[in-house]
């Protein structure tokens, strides 16, 4: 196993244990608004646990945290991207669908990823070039021939409401062709569920890098394709993502081009 993956796994498990135990005392969870999202004291505490775990082994690495921002280390080639609770709105309501997400990028490429769902004790991991795993068992994305019979994971663009009208048009066009849709509230788990064959495609817009970084590597290592809305691979910067096998991604992109606004097609 990649030594840095070991650290990522240690970090997400420690943080996950803290997050899940906090639900035993919901009165200690403090919720605050964060733009169009919410944040809790547990998010901050979990992120501190992850950062401490990383720094003990790699004190010179750079870190991008969803809550604490950027830490510029001496080693500019290594950057950890952290989301301590992906799905905080679910977490604060006791809805058991959220995850801790950690990825390491080296020289601009994601090398290792770990996404931990503490509610189900499911650990999704990947190392670039070595496949994706769920609880140490190899997983593969589904291979549908087209959108017929597929289940797509998506999410209302609450962080990009200026695109709401375009999103609704695209979603309606896709719904006619697919079998079903899921809006779970966790992009990291959407991508991991794609990797495990639980859904067949993912369609998201307005995402942050820490919501995408770990899950997209796990999805790609399971055999899925990840692209932005133009068909390129700039989803980390645009925040717009489609994923699935080639026969799913192609019609997804086609519907986006047909029904999306000019702003979404850039």
CB proximity list for 254: less than 8 A, separation 6 or greater: none
Contact of 139 with 195, CB cutoff 8 Å? yes
DSSP 145: S
Query: What's the rounded Cα separation, in Å, for the pair 167 and 261?
Result: 9
Task: Indicate the SS3 state at residue 94.
Answer: coil
Task: Indicate the SS3 state at residue 97.
Answer: coil
Q: Known binder of ligand: residue 228?
A: no
Our separate counts of H helices and E strands in the chain read: 8, 15
In the block, residue with structure tokens 């992906």: 86
- Binding-site residues from annotation: 83, 86
- Binding-site residues from annotation for Mg(2+): 83, 86
């Amino acid at each position: 196993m990649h030594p840095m993956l070991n650290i990522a796994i240690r970090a997400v498990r420690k943080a996950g244990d803290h997050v899940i135990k906090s639900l035993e005392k919901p009165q200690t969870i403090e919720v605050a608004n964060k733009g169009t999202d919410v944040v809790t004291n547990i998010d901050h505490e979990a992120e501190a646990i992850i950062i401490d775990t990383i720094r003990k082994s790699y004190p010179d690495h750079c870190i991008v945290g969803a809550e604490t921002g950027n830490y510029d280390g001496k080693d500019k080639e290594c950057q950890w991207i952290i989301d301590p609770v992906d799905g905080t709105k679910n977490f604060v309501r006791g809805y058991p669908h959220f995850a801790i997400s950690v990825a390491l990028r080296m020289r601009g490429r994601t090398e290792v990823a770990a996404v931990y769902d503490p509610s189900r004790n499911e650990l999704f991991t990947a190392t670039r070039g070595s496949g994706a795993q769920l609880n140490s068992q190899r997983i593969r994305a589904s291979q549908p021939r087209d959108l017929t019979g597929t289940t797509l994971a998506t999410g209302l663009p609450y962080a990009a409401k200026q695109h709401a009208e375009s999103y609704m048009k695209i979603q309606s066009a896709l719904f006619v062709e697919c079998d079903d849709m899921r809006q779970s509230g966790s992009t990291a788990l959407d991508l991991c569920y794609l990797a495990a064959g639980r859904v067949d495609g993912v369609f998201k817009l307005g995402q942050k890098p820490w919501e995408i970084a770990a899950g997209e590597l796990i999805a790609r290592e399971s055999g899925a394709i990840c692209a932005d809305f133009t068909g390129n691979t700039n989803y980390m910067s645009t925040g717009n993502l489609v994923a699935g096998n080639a026969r799913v991604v192609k019609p997804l992109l086609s519907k986006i081009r047909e029904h999306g606004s000019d702003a979404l097609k850039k």
